[in-house]
Structure 1
Amino acid sequence: MDKAMLHVYDLRDQGIRMLEEERRRIARDLHDGPVQALTNISMKLEVLKHMLDSNPQIAKDQVDQLHRRVTEAVKEIRALIYDLRPLAVDEVGLIEATKALCSQFEKNWGISTSFVVQDGVTSAEITPAKQVALYRLIQEILNNIKKHARATTTVVEFLRDESDLIITVKDDGVGFDTNYVPPGHYGLIGMKERAEFLGGRLEIHSIIGQGSTFIIRIPMYTG
């Protein structure tokens, strides 16, 4: 489903490409998750029709399994809807919105998620539009952890270093080679570009078998 990245010639092009990459990510999540699951369920239901008379007990066991699969697919769809819902980041601020995101992430996927804020750190010195963009970036990092890391714990931390806001997302998952980008998979590149578009940067550190750390550094200012 992935295609080559759009070419960028100026900041307007970069903004358009980031929007397009987000749409592709959502399409991938739908296709690889609930759509695939529901397609498999449909195929198994077709087989079950012919088993009801000949093997009723096996058919019953299969129905129970399919019920669990449907429940899981519904949960994934609801999570996608939650991700896409209109945000109130500009009302409650980036920090409170991220705290709620972490709680929802833990509830949905069973990954223990800690949320830490250094004393004195607020989101007031980040412009509202940048707060929304940062929220979406954190959201994408957590989605990446959910899909690939096989983590049991995650920590999201807000710190301040002089005039910079530093957001760290760390997991205890399987880790990966940060130098290798599979063909057609530009998620990590896109996340770095989005941080740069906001005037900051995203650093990614990972050791195979020892988890990963994502560090977003953004200048704090109101202008």
Structure 2
Amino acid sequence: MTTDAANQYSQAAKINERISRLQQHGGDADRGISSLLDAIAASPGEVLYLSEADTRWTTIGLFGPVLSLLPAEVDEFLERDLSLIELVHPEDAARSVRSVDDAIRKRQSFDITYRVRRHDGGWRLLRDRGKAIQDVQGRPRLLVHRLTLVSATATSTTGEEATALRALVSQLETEQRLTACEIHDGFVQLAAGALMHLEASDVANDETREAKRWLREAINEARRLIGGLRPPGLEEAGVPAAIDEFLASAHAFSDIPVSLHLDAAFPRLAPTEEMTLFRILQEAINNASKHSKSERIRVRLRHVDGLVDAEVRDWGVGFEPERLRRSGFGLVSMRERAKLLGGQMQVTSAPGEGTIMRFRFESAQ
């Protein structure tokens, strides 16, 4: 039996198994089977992905031009137990699973977008429209995902892909702000209360002193995480103030002087532009501090006639950009963020010659 034939047989067996489970409950089971068959029949030209109704989206079967959207063959999903969620961008995976779970709970269809890995190591944006196939008792038995590519128009950077990416980033930033609030109002407050009780206690020994030290470190670490999730100063004062506060609070830079050069009258930008610019600068500074072994880092930020020009430079060990084009997740993330603003991310580096990361885009303000 050929590999393709074996795959088809395996998928058919799994689908027949699910249909049998629906039939076992009798009564209105035909409605669930009909929904499944309608979903399969209603997706010409799309990739149809059938999965278990679990948080991993465990593969049941795939149909359509799989390699046009996903970086894996059908047999990799079926024989190696690869699931769709494993190919989704780490920043999008948890949100996507939650959205599908919410739709299942409300007995609604879902319509979400997320990034999946390409063959070259980059990311492409997919739209996933689907629903849960339920039995007569309302229990989800499997998920039907109808996958299509969200493609950019050839004539405009504000086409469907750019619009979807902006909405995606906006949603991610909203979720990060909510997470920051939950950490602050939950863990930080509880830890601070425990620390106050310990400090007010009359008991003083090595164990209590050690407990207080660990609590202080945990509170400081939580506040550092909050600063990364919700950049202080960004909403109130813009990118220059947020970067300045980020540099002042980032312990990783204590051994490497970081200088900030910016236009005195750098203007406020659109919220999406400010957040995207801040995240790119943050990632570039993190990369330089962790990997460059440079004695200094320079951050320059300019705004001239509507053009925003940001640069992070170090004088460290450098690298060959081509070697990191596929595996450098930080660089891929920065390029994807630059893309949603219609901007350009340029990396100039060579072994022993340091690195310059430059990001430019036309501001909408």
TM-score normalised to structure 2 length = 0.40
1:173 is matched by which residue type in structure 2? Answer: G
**CA–CA distance in structure 2, aligned partners of residues 187 and 193 of structure 1:** 10
2:271 is matched by which residue type in structure 1? Answer: P
SS at match of 1:208: coil
1:135 aligns with 2:254: no
**CA–CA distance in structure 2, aligned partners of residues 184 and 17 of structure 1:** 23
1:168 aligns with 2:311: yes
1:213 aligns with 2:356: yes
Q: Deviations over 1:144-168 (max 9, x none)?
A: 1222212221111112333201011
Relative to structure 1, is the Cα distance of residues 149 and 162 closer, same or farther in structure 2, using a 3 angstrom cutoff? Answer: same
SS at match of 2:228: helix
CA contact (8 A) 1:156 1:168 kept: yes
Post-superposition shift, 1:79?
4.3
Q: Provide the residue aligned with 2:249 in structure 1.
A: 104
Q: 83-92 vs 3-12, which deviates more? A: 3-12
Post-superposition shift, 1:199?
2.0
Q: Deviations over 1:92-142 (max 9, x none)?
A: 1111111222223367542100011134x4132x20221012111111111
Q: Provide the residue aligned with 1:123 in structure 2.
A: 267
Match of 1:153 among 285, 291, 296: 296
**CA–CA distance in structure 1, aligned partners of residues 324 and 232 of structure 2:** 31
Q: Deviations over 1:154-200 (max 9, x none)?
A: 11111233320101111112111111127654321221121111121
CA contact (8 A) 1:168 1:216 kept: yes
CA contact (8 A) 2:317 2:354 kept: yes
Q: Provide the residue aligned with 2:239 in structure 1.
A: 94
**CA–CA distance in structure 2, aligned partners of residues 182 and 168 of structure 1:** 19
Relative to structure 1, is the Cα distance of residues 76 and 150 closer, same or farther in structure 2, using a 3 angstrom cutoff? Answer: farther
SS at match of 1:180: helix
The sequence identity of aligned pairs, in percent, is 25
**CA–CA distance in structure 2, aligned partners of residues 77 and 137 of structure 1:** 22
Relative to structure 1, is the Cα distance of residues 173 and 106 closer, same or farther in structure 2, using a 3 angstrom cutoff? Answer: farther
Match of 1:83 among 217, 221, 228: 228
TM-score normalised to structure 1 length = 0.63
Match of 1:202 among 345, 354, 362: 345
SS at match of 2:321: coil
Relative to structure 1, is the Cα distance of residues 152 and 139 closer, same or farther in structure 2, using a 3 angstrom cutoff? Answer: same
CA contact (8 A) 2:325 2:331 kept: no
SS at match of 1:137: helix
SS at match of 1:202: strand
CA contact (8 A) 1:150 1:174 kept: yes
**CA–CA distance in structure 2, aligned partners of residues 104 and 77 of structure 1:** 13
**CA–CA distance in structure 2, aligned partners of residues 191 and 84 of structure 1:** 17
Relative to structure 1, is the Cα distance of residues 184 and 215 closer, same or farther in structure 2, using a 3 angstrom cutoff? Answer: closer
Relative to structure 1, is the Cα distance of residues 86 and 190 closer, same or farther in structure 2, using a 3 angstrom cutoff? Answer: closer
**CA–CA distance in structure 2, aligned partners of residues 203 and 183 of structure 1:** 15
1:169 is matched by which residue type in structure 2? Answer: V
Q: Which runs of 5+ in 2 are unaligned?
A: 1-85, 88-115, 118-122, 126-148, 151-160, 174-213
Q: Which runs of 5+ in 1 are unaligned?
A: 23-69
CA contact (8 A) 2:262 2:301 kept: yes
Query: What is the aligned-residue RMSD (CA, Å)?
Result: 3.4
Q: Higher Cα Rg: structure 1 or 2?
A: 2
